[in-house]
Chain A
Amino acid sequence: MKTIFIVDDSPTILLSVSAILTKAGYTVEKASNGQDALTRFRGGIKADLLITDLNMPGMNGLELIKEVRQLPNYRFMPILFLTTESQQARRAEARAAGASGWLVKPASADDLLNTIKLVLR
Chain B
Amino acid sequence: MDELLAVFVQESREQLQALEAGLIALDRGEHDPDTLNGVFRAAHTIKGGAGVVECDFIVEFTHVVENTLDALRNGSRELSPPLIAALLQCSDHLSDLLDLLEQSATPDAECLARGQQRLANLGNPTTPTPTPTAAATPPVAANSDRHWHISVRFGLDTLRHGMDPVSFLHYLEEMGEIVGLATIYDQLPALAEYDPEGCYLGFEIDYASTADKASIERVFDFVRDDCLLHIIPPDSKVDDFIHLIEQLPETPPRIGEILVQVGALTEKELQQALHTQSQLPHDDDHPAPKVGEILVEHHHVPPQLVEAAAGKQGKLQAGQNHTLRIQADKLDKLIDLVGELVIAGASARLLAREIGQTRLSRVTQIMSRLVEEIRDSALELRMVQIGETFNRFHRVVRDLSHELNKEVELNISGAETELDKSVVEKISDPLMHLVRNAIDHGIESPEQRLAAGKPARGKIGFNAYHDSGSIVIEVRDDGAGVNRQKVLKRAIERGLVSANQSLSDTEILNLLLEPGFSTADKVSNVSGRGVGMDVVKRNIQSLRGRIDMESVEGQGSRFMIRLPLTLAIIDGFHVAIAASTYILPLDSVVRCLEFKDAASDRDYLDFGGEALPFVRLRDLFRIDAPMPPRQNVIVVQYAGQKAGLVVDQLLGESQTVIKPLSSMFQHMRGIGGATILGSGEVALILDVQALVQLAATRETDSLSVQREPAVNQPA
Contacts and interface: CB of A to CB of B under 8 A. Distances in A.
Interface of A: 75-79, 95, 98-102, 117-121
A112 B526 CA distance: 71
Interface in B131-168: 159-164, 167-168
Contacts of A77: 162
Contacts of A98: 160-162
A119 B164 CA distance: 7
Contacts of A75: 160
Nearest to A120: B167
Nearest to B159: A76
Given A117-B171, A117-B174, A121-B167, A100 B219 contact: no
Contact of B222 (A117, A119, A120, A121): A119
Contacts of B174: 117
A78 B163 contact: yes
Contact of B162 (A102, A117, A119): A119
Nearest to B219: A118
Interface string B206-226: 000000000000010110010
23 contacts: A76-B162, A76-B197, A77-B162, A78-B162, A78-B163, A79-B162, A95-B161, A95-B225, A98-B160, A99-B162, A100-B161, A100-B163, A101-B163, A101-B222, A102-B222, A117-B174, A118-B167, A118-B168, A118-B222, A119-B162, A119-B222, A121-B164, A121-B167
Contacts of A121: 164, 167
- 5 smallest CB-CB distances across A and B, nearest first, come from A101-B222, A100-B162, A78-B162, A118-B171, A100-B161
Contacts of B167: 118-121
B268 to A, nearest CB: 37
Contacts of B160: 75-76, 98
Place the interface of chain B in its size category. Answer: 10 to 19
Contacts, number: 38
A100 B221 CA distance: 10
Nearest to A118: B171
A17 B163 CA distance: 22
Interface in B158-187: 159-164, 167-168, 171, 174
A100 B168 CA distance: 13
**Max chain A Cβ within 10 angstroms of own Cβ: one of B159, B160, B221, B222:** B222
**Max chain B Cβ within 10 angstroms of own Cβ: one of A75, A78, A101, A118:** A118
A60 B160 CA distance: 21
A102 B224 CA distance: 13
A119 B219 CA distance: 10
Nearest to B161: A100
A79 B167 CA distance: 15
B503 to A, nearest CB: 88
Contacts of B162: 76-79, 98-100, 119
Nearest to A117: B171
Contacts of B168: 118
Nearest to B175: A114
Contacts of A119: 162-163, 167, 222
Given A118-B219, A119-B222, A99 B161 contact: yes
Nearest to B174: A117
Interface string B186-216: 0000000000010000000000000000000
A101 to B, nearest CB: 3
A119 B171 CA distance: 9
Given A117-B171, A117-B174, 15 more contacts: A76-B159, A76-B197, A79-B162, A95-B225, A98-B161, A98-B162, A99-B162, A100-B163, A101-B163, A118-B168, A118-B171, A119-B162, A119-B163, A119-B222, A120-B167
**Max chain A Cβ within 10 angstroms of own Cβ: one of B161, B167, B168:** B161
A99 B163 CA distance: 10
A53 to B, nearest CB: 18
B178 to A, nearest CB: 15
Contacts of B164: 121
Contacts of B225: 95
A10 B3 CA distance: 57
A119 B222 CA distance: 9
B125 to A, nearest CB: 37
B221 A101 contact: yes
Interface in B386-414: none
B259 to A, nearest CB: 26
Nearest to A65: B162
Contacts of B161: 95, 98-100
A23 to B, nearest CB: 19
A70 B624 CA distance: 119
Contacts of B197: 76
Nearest to B158: A100
A86 to B, nearest CB: 17
Contacts of B159: 76
A78 B164 CA distance: 9
Nearest to A75: B160
